[in-house]
Amino acid sequence: MDLRAAYSKRELNEQQFTSISNNKIEEILKEALFREGRKEALSWALDSFSSLELDLDNVETETSSSSSTQRFAERLLLNVPFRDVVLTKALLGYFCEYNAEKVVELISSSSSSGWREFFLSDDDDDERKKAFFQSNFRFDGEHLKGAKAICSFSLRRRNTHWHHLRWRNNKSQSPVICATKPGTFCELDCVQTLRGSLGEDDEFWSSEEFMKSLKRNGGEDAKVLILSDIEYFVSILYGKLSRTSSTDDNNFSELHVRSYLFSFLKKQNHLITCQKLLPFISNETDVLKLANNLFTKKDECKSLLGCVFAGVEWQSVEDFVLAIALTFRARIFAQILKDCNNEEILKQEIVLIDASKSKLNIFCQFFIARLKINANVLDIEEVMRKSGIEFKRVALEYIEDFEDDEDSVQSIKKSKKKRKKRKLMMTTTKNKGEEHN
């Protein structure tokens, strides 16, 4: 490649090229980058993680068997620690929202059921109780959901638990009556029963009957319950992760939750994962950690993505964000600089920039080349010619003749659209003419 190409004679006469240190160039670019706001600049860096799914396969990875999303999930869980409360809760919320059936599994495997507290709020008009228990007693005896669980559980454990049931108007019913006429359960005071000793009994909440009611309808009913109060389930799971939960269950431990989260993230859509989680990383150094650990030092760069992420350890968030701006967002960053005063950068002699020291210097060098090309100080054709890239100019009129060229870039489509529009206008005009006639 040769970037000494073609300063126009006019520019050579007018411009006095100067040379400043690499650090000064980086400083100028960083100042311009962060001028609009640090958050905005950081969002570019976070967005770059989203493109991993598309490009990761172009990077030769040490463990080629693991998919891009698996690697990202692994690195995210390993490098962004659970001490980040905001991010951890966002992750748990994402888990509850997209994997409710696993949440049911986890909560139900606890010896002291989280379901009891969920249903036993002080509010008698709690819609959750109504929707799952109260509203599902049927006069024909075909009870549903929680109602069915109470009936089946009480009948099966009638010797030990029947006295826990509370009836309306204190009119108790016998198990025999209820077994022969199941509709009699409609007389049950559901709220008082649940708030009484039946509700206090862990045996009911961990019973086969209650579990069955949660799994009914393919787990959809349980999903609705979880989605109705994600915050509650997040707090239970967070208690386990932060080890503040008082209960000690073999089937519902910190390790279990972590393992569920890992399996979940591995299977999720990478783009959605990025959108749901990355904005919640509260510590900038965690972003840096993630960027520096996505690939190993043995990984090679065969794409722009590999250049930015593989075999490099960014020393600061600012360096990493600048690298993103100079590569993935180069076109828009150049546009921003065009609006600012970028004369000082345009005066830099590209070949005098020492690009041997770091990747950031390489990115700076080519970014300045871009600025010069945009400002017509440098000629792209001559750059290609001197770099041995063969090319052919194509006039726009010529392109319009390629009707079936599917791979043409957007501009061709636009020109086709314009032509079609012209044709349409002509047809319309013609039709109008016919109408007039």
Partner 1 sequence: MNNEDMLQWRIIGDGDDSLVYSKNDLVDVVLERFIVKACST
Q: Which residues bind partner 1 (CB under 8 A)?
A: 1, 3, 300-304, 306-307, 327, 330-331, 355, 359, 362-363, 365-366, 369-370, 373-374, 380, 383-384, 387, 389-396, 399, 405, 407-412
Measured from the CB atom, the residue of 392 and 436 that comes closer to partner 1 is 392
The residue (of 120 and 307) whose beta carbon lies closer to partner 1 is 307
Of 241 and 308, the one with the shorter C-beta distance to partner 1 is 308
Shortest Cβ distance from residue 282 to partner 1 (Å)? 31
Q: By CB neighbour count within 10 A (0-12 exposed, 13-18 middle, 19+ buried), where does 10 fall? A: exposed
Nearer to partner 1, 164 or 359 (CB): 359
Q: Which long-range contacts (CB under 8 A, 24 or more apart) does 35-44 make?
A: 35/340, 36/336, 41/321, 41/325, 42/284, 42/287, 42/317, 42/321, 43/279, 44/321, 44/324, 44/325, 44/328, 44/329
Task: Work out the angle at residue 167's Cα, subtended by the Cα atoms of residues 162 and 170, and round it to the nearest 5 degrees.
Answer: 115
Cβ atoms of 254 and 246 closer than 8 Å: no
Q: How far is the CB of 308 from partner 1 (least distance, A)?
A: 9
For residue 325, with 0-12 CB atoms within 10 Å meaning exposed, 13-18 middle and 19 or more buried, which class applies? buried
Q: How far is the CB of 369 from partner 1 (least distance, A)?
A: 6
- State the first-to-last Cα distance of the chain, in angstroms, to the nearest integer: 65
- Residue 415 CB, shortest distance to partner 1, in Å, is 10
* Closer to partner 1 by Cβ: residue 231 or 300: 300
Residue with tokens 């990077």: 59
Smaller CB separation from partner 1, 394 or 426: 394
Q: Which is nearer to partner 1, 209 or 299 (CB)?
A: 299
Min CB(36)–partner 1 separation in Å:
22
| Displacement of CA 52 from its chain's centroid (Å) | 12
Q: Which residue has the tokens 């076109």?
A: 331
- In the complex, least distance from residue 384 CB atom to partner 1, rounded to whole angstroms: 6
- Residue 278 CB, shortest distance to partner 1, in Å, is 24
